[in-house]
Structure 1
Amino acid sequence: MDIFTPVVPDAEQHQHFRLITQSGLYEPEIKVLKTWADGFVDRDGKFIREFQTTFNSSFWELYLFACFKELGCTVNLSYATPDFVLTSSYGEFIAEATTANHPKGFRPEWDKDLSMLNEITIDEILRLSTLRLLQSITDKYKKYVSNYSKLTHVKNKPFVICVTPFDQPFFFLQDSLALVRVLYAYEQPLIIQNPQKDELIIIGESRKYKVQKKPGVNIDLGLFTDTQMADVSAIVFNNRATICKVRAIAGEGKYSVLFSGSRAIESETETGVERFVLERYQYQETLLDGCHIFLNPFAKNPLNTKIFEGREIAIHNYDKDTEDYQLNIPNKFLYQRICMPIYSDENAIKTIKKYKDSISSTEIYQDLPSEKWLEDQLIYIGGQIGPFYKHHMAHYRGWTILVSLDSIDEDWSALAVNKLCYNHPQFLQANEDKNNTSIGLSEWFPTKEEAYAAIKSKIDDIFKKTNKDM
């Protein structure tokens, strides 16, 4: 299948396709992509055009096709839908590809420069990606229920949704954090610095049960924490499946590339992160590096994971009895990787400048509205810090209140910090910041409502004193 001979005019070509085919710099990368496409079948006669005009979804589909072959699967492309009918040594399963794309009117992933990093936070990146991944997965689930599940070659087989984000310029910084929220309502471990030693200590975990689309519209998370999506057996995900992966696999090329990122250290004696900064000729990356599979413990047709074990793949799961999020990461797993091409040849520099000028835009894009909570409303956020759990959070008079239950004595207390926070990590950071004022209760209460009222009373006293002094 010839995916690179243009079938559409330049003006209709996607920015990535135009760069790869017109710059004269990407012959090694083109060779890799042709290898991925070897044996792929354009079943509806639209694939080549879509690869050249929308690029990302077709790129992801080619990557998955190459991965399934790498895993030893036989890929049956004789059916019109779903995307992949697969046979492995451990049974048959069905896989459907999708991407999370930018909302209409929002900045597309290709329109970026590094200066934009100063204008956005990781929380904002994660919030948008959480919404977009949730939407993409839900849409494919609905398609399965209404269509795929009725097909003879699909019935009673594990159904896997393969999703990756291309929803914003710095989508690659989210790692798997947004998808963990979507599927397991899990946010992150809570970590502090040990003041006596140069080490980090895990003191608990933060959960994320809802994501705010706009003030007043909060959407539930945790698709794999109950039976609501039992028809979906698993999710395959790889946020490292980008042009950078193609560059890494291509090896030497016409320009230098600097790769930086981190890999997991997982052994019997050590757990940690190994960071790297390597030039193109030094760096090695496999096709499967950075790949994740998220299992649904409530699946009607569970997926046999043996095909993924012992490979460069992180396996996520959820214990439906203990409600614990579980993660199995292989040693040297690729957590993060970005790459920076370095064009030193004068002709290459001119070519890239011409390309960037051709895609520059003065369009004003939309952003998600800032997150905002209703005043004086106690919200369950869950999670655990040491012996404290069943956490609730509220905003009150510019303060954030955290109400917690002591698991030992089964009574309630509260803390507050004079900054608006929206999750546990933000609250911990604000509480440790000496520029903020923090208060707590010296007594314990039988109910969360009483503890909440007591901490609000202390905040009211602070306001009265402040106003009196003024």
Structure 2
Amino acid sequence: MTMMAAEVRHYETPDKSNLAIVVFDKTDSDFGYIILGRDGRKIFRCLEVGNEFYASADAAEEALNEAIKPYEADGISEYSQGDEVKPILDIFAPIVADDKQHDYFKVLSSNEMRSAARNLIQEIAYSFVDVDGNYIEQFQTTGFDQRLWELFLYVLFHKEGFEFDNTKPAPDFSLSRFGMPVFVEAVTVGQNPDFDVPADTAAQIAELSQNYMPIKFGSPLFSKINRKNKYWDLPHVAGHPFVLAIHDYHGLATSDTPGSMTWSRAGLVNYLYGVRDDVIIEGETVRPRMVVGKYGLEPSIKITTEHTYGDKTIPSRFFGLPDAENVSAVLFSNGATVTTFGRMGKIAGLGDHDVKMLRMGMWVSDEMGTTQPFATDVDADDYDEAWGDTVTMFHNPWAKNPVPDELFPNISHAILDPLTNQVRYRFTPKHVLTSMTTVIVPTNDDTTED
């Protein structure tokens, strides 16, 4: 899909019933405007395209200011376009009893601290197509995490410029870009009270990343390639890239321990490629074991063939398992959280202006993979965030149908070099490894992790 115009300025009417953009025409190098309003499903769609073009954005804005006045005065909140067939996806209208609602759904739907996330999620849901027919019920009950992950992926793929085919029930996403199809199945790491353990020190995290987390990731990933009806055998999927998208929600944050999503990615890399950093754990101190390499001292890499924790043992190197050659890549994020939707909603002006958000964490600061801490106010003029900031695609070096990097230009990528057993990364600018957001309201405060 070729983008022939770029959005350069954005506007909204005081009552938010109309939106407008000034666009730059890449072909003729001039400027125009587009006015949008909600249709019968509450989706913002085009109402008017300026029939003249201008030499500057300022001139286009001046014309827009005049053109939008009739819409501001018409008192219309919805402009039916005659093709609205599917019902509105009102994701927060309760359809189950209170005692069956997920705790996170209850907080999200009623707590003013979460107004930015709530308002943004509702806006996204208006255009989301519920292929299975049970999205709202799952989102409000036991499937909250899984459905939030799917909503995050929906926005991510939309921002990447994909077209959606919603006529197929499986996999979760049938996408195409530049005429190339790619299919994505979403999966999550859930809780297992009989197996799960928390971690609150660097030593515990390093220890659990070696075997415990690979088993946690391995269970849902292996189940997807071991199912009777193989995704890659479906007629519309066969011969095209197939991706598993995974997010860890299993370990909740407490006042004493960080949530597992803040540290679990190392365990995923270990499991997918069967290699990990060889570390030395001394008390509460963790440091890499160094060896003499071709260019001097370098971290030692340890090859793993299996993972054992408690009474569970699984083989390592997921991409080397039978049938895994049909999985083109595993897409990972630890950022599909209510807090992320809250920050993005706040940036869009959808939340309570009295709510403050302070974000801190670790990001990759250069192409060499150097990490550094960051701390910022989400209200700062220079604060910026993209949906792909926390996303990494781990490519399968033995895939039958590889995913071209250019299909996903705004996320980070990684692949194993089978000759050196080194995992090679290509990070986006300021790729976020982990972060914590403190949400502050005038009478209370809350801290959440993403």
TM bracket (short chain)? 0.5 to 0.7
Contact 1:90 1:307 in 2 (8 A): no
How far apart, CA to CA, are the structure 1 residues paired with 2:267 and 2:129? 32
Q: Which has the higher helix share?
A: 1
Residues 92-124 of structure 1 deviation map (CA, whole Å, 9 limit, x = unaligned): 01111110101154669xxx9xxx836992135
Which residue number corresponds to residue 87 of structure 1?
176
Contact 1:258 1:279 in 2 (8 A): yes
- Is 1:97 the counterpart of 2:186? The answer is yes
How far apart, CA to CA, are the structure 1 residues paired with 2:421 and 2:370? 25
Counterpart AA for 1:230: E
- Is 1:32 the counterpart of 2:120? The answer is yes
Counterpart AA for 1:60: W
- Residue from 184, 187, 203 that aligns with 2:273: 184
Which residue number corresponds to residue 343 of structure 2?
248
Percent identity between the aligned chains?
23
How far apart, CA to CA, are the structure 1 residues paired with 2:200 and 2:422? 33
Which residue number corresponds to residue 386 of structure 1?
none
Counterpart AA for 2:219: Q
How far apart, CA to CA, are the structure 2 residues paired with 1:192 and 1:102? 30
Instruction: Quote the offset at 1:207 in angstroms.
Output: 3.5
SS across alignment from 1:134: helix
Change (3 A) 1:103 1:119: farther
Comparing 49-58 with 202-211, greater Cα deviation is found at 202-211
Which residue number corresponds to residue 306 of structure 2?
210
Residues 128-160 of structure 1 deviation map (CA, whole Å, 9 limit, x = unaligned): 3321211111111123x6243332212211111
Which residue number corresponds to residue 71 of structure 1?
160
TM superposition score normalised by structure 2: 0.67
Residues 235-275 of structure 1 deviation map (CA, whole Å, 9 limit, x = unaligned): 111012212211221226442222111221215xx762231
Change (3 A) 1:227 1:72: same
Which residue number corresponds to residue 328 of structure 1?
426
Counterpart AA for 1:62: L
- Residue from 257, 261, 275 that aligns with 2:357: 257
Change (3 A) 1:154 1:193: closer
- Is 1:308 the counterpart of 2:412? The answer is no
Measured on the aligned residues, the alpha-carbon RMSD in Å equals: 2.9
Counterpart AA for 1:14: H
Contact 1:249 1:284 in 2 (8 A): no
How far apart, CA to CA, are the structure 2 residues paired with 1:41 and 1:235? 24
Instruction: Quote the offset at 1:26 in angstroms.
Output: 2.1
Which residue number corresponds to residue 337 of structure 1?
435
TM superposition score normalised by structure 1: 0.64
Residues 350-377 of structure 1 deviation map (CA, whole Å, 9 limit, x = unaligned): xx8xxxxxxxxxxxxxxxxxxxxxxxxx
- Is 1:136 the counterpart of 2:220? The answer is yes
Contact 1:125 1:174 in 2 (8 A): no
| Structure 2 counterparts to residues 17-416 of structure 1, below 5 A | 17-54=105-142, 55-89=144-178, 91-105=180-194, 117=200, 121-123=204-206, 125-126=208-209, 127-143=211-227, 146-169=229-252, 170-188=259-277, 202-215=298-311, 217-225=312-320, 228-251=323-346, 253=352, 254-267=354-367, 272-282=370-380, 283-309=383-409, 311=410, 313-345=411-443, 348=444
How far apart, CA to CA, are the structure 2 residues paired with 1:50 and 1:278? 34
Q: Which of these two proteins has the greater Rg computed from alpha carbons?
A: 1
Contact 1:63 1:241 in 2 (8 A): yes
Change (3 A) 1:299 1:180: same
Change (3 A) 1:49 1:57: same
5+ residue gaps in structure 2?
1-88, 253-258, 280-286, 291-296
How far apart, CA to CA, are the structure 1 residues paired with 2:278 and 2:207? 19
Contact 1:233 1:302 in 2 (8 A): yes
Comparing 254-263 with 91-100, greater Cα deviation is found at 254-263
Instruction: Quote the offset at 1:61 in angstroms.
Output: 0.5
Instruction: Quote the offset at 1:337 in angstroms.
Output: 1.0
How far apart, CA to CA, are the structure 1 residues paired with 2:299 and 2:402? 33
Change (3 A) 1:83 1:193: closer
How far apart, CA to CA, are the structure 2 residues paired with 1:230 and 1:279? 44
Contact 1:209 1:222 in 2 (8 A): yes
Residues 163-215 of structure 1 deviation map (CA, whole Å, 9 limit, x = unaligned): 11111121222252111011101222666699xxxxxx744223433221325
Contact 1:102 1:132 in 2 (8 A): no
Contact 2:277 2:299 in 1 (8 A): no
How far apart, CA to CA, are the structure 2 residues paired with 1:265 and 1:24? 34
SS across alignment from 1:86: strand
SS across alignment from 1:206: strand
SS across alignment from 2:108: helix
Counterpart AA for 1:19: V
